């Protein structure tokens, strides 16, 4: 069964005889395709940023600082002995 929908062309309105199911399906497929492309782009960006952060941590932070970020809290005496003296 065909349903009609109104489509506005400039100032005149015309009626297209097209199944709404087909038009809706095409619209959803286009939207899904765009979303899949955006998800793939975001995954690549997240991977790139993760690599960048890991490289930064390895290159810019001394082992004692990295250990402080990931280890359990220490007592005051342990922290004093772990801090490099200038």
The one-character DSSP state at 77 is H
pLDDT given at position 81: 60
Q: With a cut of 70, which residues of the chain have pLDDT below it? A: 1-20, 62-86
pLDDT given at position 61: 73
pLDDT given at position 21: 82
Where does 1-86 have alpha helices with state H?
20-60, 63-70, 76-82
Buried b (16+ CB within 10 A) or exposed e, 50-80: eeeeeeeeeeeeeeeeeeeeeeeeeeeeeee
């Amino acid at each position: 069964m065909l349903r009609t929908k109104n489509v506005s062309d400039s100032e005149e309105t015309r009626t297209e005889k097209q199944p709404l199911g087909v038009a809706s399906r095409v619209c959803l497929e286009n939207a899904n395709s765009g979303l899949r492309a955006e998800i793939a782009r975001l995954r690549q960006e997240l991977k790139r940023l993760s690599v960048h952060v890991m490289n930064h941590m390895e290159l810019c932070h001394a082992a004692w600082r990295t250990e402080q970020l990931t280890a359990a809290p220490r007592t005051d005496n342990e922290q004093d002995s772990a801090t490099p003296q200038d």
